[in-house]
Amino acid sequence: MPTIIIKATITCPSCGYQKQEAMPENACVHFWECPQCHAVVMPGPGKCCVFCSHSSSECPPRQREAGTA
């Protein structure tokens, strides 16, 4: 059985800054403030959270739904 990824690198769509962040295992994150430019990042159209939209991995709830974890 695949392991759930709980850390992902999120990329600010405004300035390109990247930061590794821990993802909650049972919730979606709807807002993330970029530490560099202070833009408030929100999910893209049709996405549940900022990790599914702007990071190197989907959030844990979506990983479970997709059967990848």
> What does the pLDDT look like over 15-64, one tens digit per residue?
999 999 999 999 999 999 999 999 999 999 999 999 999 999 999 999 99
The predicted model scores a pTM of 0.88
Q: Which residues contact 28 (CB under 8 A, 6 or more apart)?
A: 43, 48, 49, 51, 52, 59, 61
Task: Specify the number of domains making up the chain.
Answer: 1
Determine, yes or no, domain membership for 13.
yes
Determine, yes or no, domain membership for 40.
yes
Give, as one character, the DSSP assignment of residue 42: -
Determine, yes or no, domain membership for 25.
yes
Q: Is 62 helix (H, G, I), strand (E, B) or coil?
A: helix
Domain that holds residue 46: 7-66
Determine, yes or no, domain membership for 54.
yes
Determine, yes or no, domain membership for 1.
no
